[in-house]
């Protein structure tokens, strides 16, 4: 070790790179057993990364994969935050795709307008600790009634309800809520995060893009402010992307993401606020006003192509 340090300092006179920068580069090199994380750091562009190619190919079954629910998979993001002086905590299981949350989320998102009031009833039931939920189908048209029953039956199959029954005489569907905090959070808004997570992974798989991804990461900035990142990911040789997912009021989060964008010196397209309410013209206006990207479910893939390809 002494000989190594001596040779390192001796070589300083023949190098334009300062010794502390060379040591920083050495310290930040990942161990050879790492999977999806920093393979090399360009000190002149620390926000760009190269992912280790070992096991980084997105050749996986999205709907039955726990490959992302590991410490190693999160390492690229962890190292990025560390280089920026930001501490981070991950929940590895929040990106475990072996369950049915992403499939259930797809069902809700594709039928968002029709299911809006019913999701509201389910949220109310959780708030008030009401076990049984009554869906009066007469409040809907005949085609909608059939569609709602199919949707609820499918969600019951995915076990986000404890019980499903149809009272044909009174044209009523009865649901029993799951006594599960995870399912409660799913209906409170996590379903949009699961949808976005699934879409990002499908996009990566389709275009053979290596990435490191997280959901619900908790970060602490240098000014000691703490934030949760709904979905965050970083692709090879790209800057990270942060996506805020809002199933309800989205107007309260512009300041949060403006600060995050400034902290990490990111372009507008890398900080995305996705919601279920805005039209395309509103998206363009809000993006211009608040200097982050505002998008809808329909325009998400278009924005992913800008930051991932």
* pLDDT, tens only, 131-145: 999 999 999 999 999
pLDDT at 278: 87
**Close Cβ partners of 168 (under 8 Å, ≥ 6 residues apart):** none
Is 195 within 8 Å of 97 (Cβ atoms)? Answer: no
63 — pLDDT class (breaks 50, 70, 90): low
198-215 burial, b at 16+ Cβ within 10 Å, e below that, comes to bbbbbbbbeeebbbbbbb
Q: For the chain, how far is it from start to end, CA to CA, in angstroms? A: 43
pLDDT at 70: 92
Which region among 6-10, 120-124, 243-247, 280-284 has the lowest average model confidence (pLDDT)?
Answer: 6-10
Residue for token pair 């797809």: 106
Average pLDDT over residues 75-90: 96
pTM: 0.82
> Where is pLDDT greater, at 279 or 33?
279
> Where is pLDDT greater, at 12 or 23?
12
Strands 226-235 and 211-220, by their bridges, are antiparallel
Average pLDDT over residues 141-167: 98
Which region among 50-54, 72-76, 111-115, 126-130 has the lowest average model confidence (pLDDT)?
Answer: 50-54
Is 248 within 8 Å of 130 (Cβ atoms)? Answer: no
Q: Is 16 exposed, middle or buried (0-12, 13-18, 19+ CB in 10 A)?
A: exposed
Cα distances (angstroms) measured from residue 29 to each of 49, 75, 78, 83: 12, 12, 13, 12
pLDDT at 47: 52
112-128 and 101-110 helices, crossing angle to 10°: 120
Strands 293-295 and 271-275, by their bridges, are parallel
What does residue 43 show for φ and ψ, rounded to 5 degrees?
-65, -20
Residue for token pair 């507008």: 268
Q: Is 142 exposed, middle or buried (0-12, 13-18, 19+ CB in 10 A)?
A: exposed
66 — pLDDT class (breaks 50, 70, 90): confident
Nearest Cα neighbor of 297 from 269, 278, 271 is: 278
Q: How far apart are the C-alpha atoms of 55 and 186, rounded to whole Å?
A: 30
- Given a cut of 60, whether residue 9 has pLDDT beyond it is no
Q: How far apart are the C-alpha atoms of 47 and 234, rounded to whole Å?
A: 10
> Where is pLDDT greater, at 25 or 64?
64
299 — pLDDT class (breaks 50, 70, 90): very high
Strands 87-89 and 38-41, by their bridges, are unpaired
pLDDT at 110: 96
pLDDT at 49: 57
Average pLDDT over residues 176-198: 96
Is 287 within 8 Å of 258 (Cβ atoms)? Answer: no
The sign one gets for the Cα dihedral 301, 303, 305, 309 is negative
Nearest Cα neighbor of 237 from 32, 38, 30, 24 is: 38
Is 273 within 8 Å of 244 (Cβ atoms)? Answer: yes
3-state SS, residue 268: helix
């Amino acid at each position: 070790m002494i000989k190594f340090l001596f040779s390192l300092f001796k070589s300083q006179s023949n190098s334009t790179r300062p010794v502390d920068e060379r040591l920083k580069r050495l310290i930040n090199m990942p161990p050879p057993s790492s999977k999806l994380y920093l393979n090399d750091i360009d000190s002149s562009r620390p926000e760009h990364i190269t992912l280790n190619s070992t096991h980084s190919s997105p050749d996986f079954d999205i709907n039955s994969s726990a490959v992302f629910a590991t410490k190693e998979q999160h390492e690229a993001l962890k190292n990025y935050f560390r280089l920026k002086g930001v501490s981070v905590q991950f929940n590895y299981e929040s990106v475990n795709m072996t369950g049915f949350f992403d499939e259930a989320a797809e069902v809700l998102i594709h039928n968002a307008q029709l299911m809006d009031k019913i999701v509201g009833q389910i949220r109310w039931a959780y708030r008030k600790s009401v076990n049984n939920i009554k869906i009066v189908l007469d409040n809907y048209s005949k085609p909608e009634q059939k569609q709602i029953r199919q949707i609820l039956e499918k969600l019951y199959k995915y076990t986000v309800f404890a019980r499903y029954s149809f009272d044909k005489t009174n044209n009523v569907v009865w649901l029993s809520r799951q006594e599960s905090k995870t399912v409660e959070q799913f209906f409170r808004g996590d379903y949009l995060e699961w949808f976005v997570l699934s879409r990002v992974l499908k996009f990566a798989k389709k275009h053979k893009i290596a990435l490191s991804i997280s959901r619900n990461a908790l970060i602490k900035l240098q000014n000691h402010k703490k934030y949760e990142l709904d979905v965050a990911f970083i692709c090879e040789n790209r800057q990270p992307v942060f996506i805020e997912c809002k199933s309800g009021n989205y107007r309260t989060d512009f300041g949060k993401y403006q600060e995050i964008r400034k902290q990490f010196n990111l372009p507008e397209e890398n900080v995305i606020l996705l919601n279920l309410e805005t039209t395309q013209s509103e998206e363009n206006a809000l993006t211009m006003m608040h200097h982050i990207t505002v998008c809808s479910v329909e325009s998400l893939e278009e924005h992913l192509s800008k930051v991932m390809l």
